[in-house]
Amino acid sequence: MQLRTLAHLGDSRGKRVLLRVDWNVPMERSRIVDDTKIRLSLPTLAALRASGAAVIVVSHLREGATGDTLAPAVRAAGRLLGGRRPTLVRTAVGSPTLLRVCRALRPGAVLVLENIRRYPGEERNERAFARTLAALADVYVNDAFAACHRRHASVAAVADYLPAVAGLLLQREVEVLQRVLEQPAHPMIALMGGAKIATKAPVIDRLRRSASAVLLGGGLANTVWAVRGYGIGASLVDSDAAPVVRQLLRARRHGAVRMPVDVVVGDPSARGRGHRVVPVGPRPHVICERPEAVLDIGPATIRAYSAELRTAATMVWNGPMGWLECSPFHYGSVMLARVIASRASGRAFGVVGGGETLAALQQTQMAQYIDHVSSGGGAMLAFLGGEALPGLLPLYRTGA
């Protein structure tokens, strides 16, 4: 099946386009900390305006929030667009006033609806709410890859009521991740960390079939050790993941999945003081006892994983190797980020995704060298794990 894209829209002059973006940017007291997601959405917005369309932008802000406003994101978009700020409309979706305003939009105009998660019908994927949204426009463009794994009205159901296509960002995400799954340059090395093993096990299982190695760290490794009977003190563990871990252990016997050979442990309450390196043997033993916890991969693991990554022609990374927010437990993640960045855009094709993963990459000041930085960690994992993403399915249809 072919993904329907902006090229399938035809003449957009005079059309009203409902554009779903992801402006769910990190903020501190209404100050945007990182505007990357807004920047990534602008090429599609610019292309639609240049085609003569009027654009009605839809986004959410902050997971589960109901009182937050998109005003800071709208201001940032205005600055990035050269001062031509979009208009934020607080009029309620479903009101006759909003419908009149949208129908009166002129070519090139950009209207932004207030935080769509203020409406209960959004997260419930209510068809009535989706029809109300669809009534505002002639065409639907989904450019919010990071939300495509959500079965929400502005992501999934609305596409049943309008001709639906993918924006430029979403198109790029799909093309890159399909390349990783179907036509990766070999050898391929995957680096997987973070805490929740249940969401990453399908990805690990799928990638190990074509990858030379899947390198584990962070809470994923802790959970594997816990299930195997290692003593890991107060370490972060996904306590509900025992069945998933057994699957991973079976996969590890086939040789593709690697575990750390040493770790950095310490008392989390000491905030980095008094840490030490502990080797990890092949048989269960006590790595540390409470109040200590495993907080990062150790130097021998950094060397071993770096050597694996230096052989790669394709690299995929999701999830930090340790406690990224606390020095020195960010060290393993940052060192491997440097290796990935130094090989990407040339000797290997590098794909990185996930909020904490990007934070580690940004500490290297080398993020610009990564071939593809995914805008959605959860959606990236779902796609690579073989899930059917609710936001993507309608974009493969042959009709409107």
Helices 218-228 and 242-252 meet at what angle, rounded to 10? 90
Q: Is 371 exposed, middle or buried (0-12, 13-18, 19+ CB in 10 A)?
A: middle
Alpha-helix runs per DSSP H in the chain: 36-50, 71-80, 96-103, 120-123, 127-134, 168-182, 197-207, 218-228, 242-252, 299-309, 331-343, 355-363, 377-384
The pLDDT of residue 67 is 56
Q: How confident is the model at residue 400 (pLDDT cuts 50, 70, 90)?
A: very low
Q: How confident is the model at residue 397 (pLDDT cuts 50, 70, 90)?
A: low
Mean pLDDT of the chain: 92
The pLDDT of residue 390 is 97
In the 8-state DSSP scheme, what is residue 186?
S
The total number of residues shown for the chain amounts to: 400
The pLDDT of residue 197 is 84
- Average of pLDDT values for 216-238? 94
Give the model confidence (pLDDT) of 163-182 as tens digits: 999 999 999 999 999 999 99
Residue 359 has pLDDT above 90, yes or no: no
Query: So what CATH class is 184-369?
Result: alpha beta
The pLDDT of residue 109 is 95
The pLDDT of residue 254 is 59
Return the CA Rg of the chain. 23
Q: Where in the chain is the domain with CATH 3.40.50.1260?
A: 6-171+388-396, 184-369
Query: Which tokens is 343 given?
Result: 């090989």
The pLDDT of residue 199 is 81
Bridge pairing between strands 262-266 and 276-279: antiparallel
Q: Which CATH architecture has domain 6-171+388-396?
A: 3-Layer(aba) Sandwich (3.40)
Give the model confidence (pLDDT) of 48-88 as tens digits: 999 999 999 999 987 544 458 999 999 999 999 886 789 99
Give the model confidence (pLDDT) of 286-336 as tens digits: 999 999 999 999 999 999 999 999 999 999 999 999 999 999 999 999 999
Q: How confident is the model at residue 201 (pLDDT cuts 50, 70, 90)?
A: confident
> What pTM does this model have?
0.90
Residue 391 has pLDDT above 60, yes or no: yes
- Average of pLDDT values for 154-167? 97
The pLDDT of residue 28 is 82
